[in-house]
Chains A and B, each alone.
Chain A
Amino acid sequence: MKFFASRFGTSRCALVAGLASFVVAGVALADGHVYTATNPAWKAECGSCHVAYPPALLPAASWRALMMQLDQHFGTDASIDAKTAREITAFLEANAGRARKETSATPVLRITETRWFQKEHDEISARTRRSPAVKSAADCEACHTQAAQGDFSERTRRAPR
């Protein structure tokens, strides 16, 4: 590094380091399972009881339906004030996944009930699913150790324990 610094100057050195990190990020993104879209209100509110699920995991219609009934959010009251709800809905819509062909006409609300999720996770054994370390299929962090950072890549995945 000292050689590079003296020969090319520190700014070029920084450029090389910058390119290197870009390549690393590129590899992770090529895996298709690292989500970078973020918003402070989404992170704080959606992340207070569970991992803030990346917007790309559901289509916009699903997020809209879900945000309309936060007072009945999978068995709990998750109400937030109207202003914050509007901000989060806009963020979710802007970064939502593309609508995939689903079996029902109404929007799917549970990520675990989407066809792509079931396809992605169909190799997981019943024994692993029953592991006490897995609270439910919605407990991403049981296996995806960096889920809270949006990283669902194979690199950061491990068996639950």
Chain B
Amino acid sequence: MRPLPFVLAALLSGAALVAGVVHAARPADFLPQWQRAAKQADAGFSGFSAARGEQFFNATHGGEWSCASCHTRNPAAAGKHAKTGKIIAPLAPAANAERFTDAANVEKWFKRNCSDVLNRACTAQEKGDVLTYLLGVRP
């Protein structure tokens, strides 16, 4: 029989591995849940579109700001907060490995920024389109 401490250590490291996988998502892992939600909201949903995402990203939506106001029209480059001037790290996952890896962080920023840009929450279709666009942006 193996000594108890060894078994415990093995169990703990296994749990840490699982937790790590759950916590540190890959950017593309966000798409399936938004796909399901978009399908539920609209039976005619026909997938995400990078072109639509790009257009959404660069357009204003009734307010003063677009996504590009802070993130610039090149999401692979550093941006700048439109009001405070603080430098914002690149948004495109290919230029910044930390982007779209933490679900809580992703939801936090979509809530805030959609509220600032659209004065409402973003739909699953809009989130999926934007991420599909961002995934294709190369530095």
Contacts and interface: CB of A to CB of B under 8 A. Distances in A.
B46 interface: no
A77 B111 contact: yes
Interface stretch (B21-29, B50-58, B80-88): B80-88
Nearest to B65: A76
Contacts of A71: 115
A151 B104 CA distance: 32
A135 interface: yes
Contact of B83 (A75, A77, A81): A75
Contact of B115 (A48, A49, A77): A77
Contacts, number: 35
A50 B82 CA distance: 11
Interface string B73-111: 000000001011110000000000000000010001001
B116 interface: yes
- Of B81, B112, B113, B115, the most chain A CB neighbours within 10 A belong to B112
Interface residues of B, number: 12
Contacts of A80: 108
Contact of B112 (A77, A135, A139): A77
A79 interface: yes
A76 B64 CA distance: 12
B46 to A, nearest CB: 31
Contact of A76 (B83, B86, B104): B83
A76 B116 contact: yes
Contacts of A135: 83-85
B80 to A, nearest CB: 10
A37 interface: no
Interface string A95-107: 0000000000000
Nearest to A71: B115
Contacts of A76: 83, 112, 116
Interface of A: 48-51, 71, 75-81, 135-136, 138-139
Given A77-B111, A136-B84, 8 more contacts: A50-B81, A50-B84, A76-B116, A77-B113, A135-B83, A135-B85, A138-B84, A139-B85
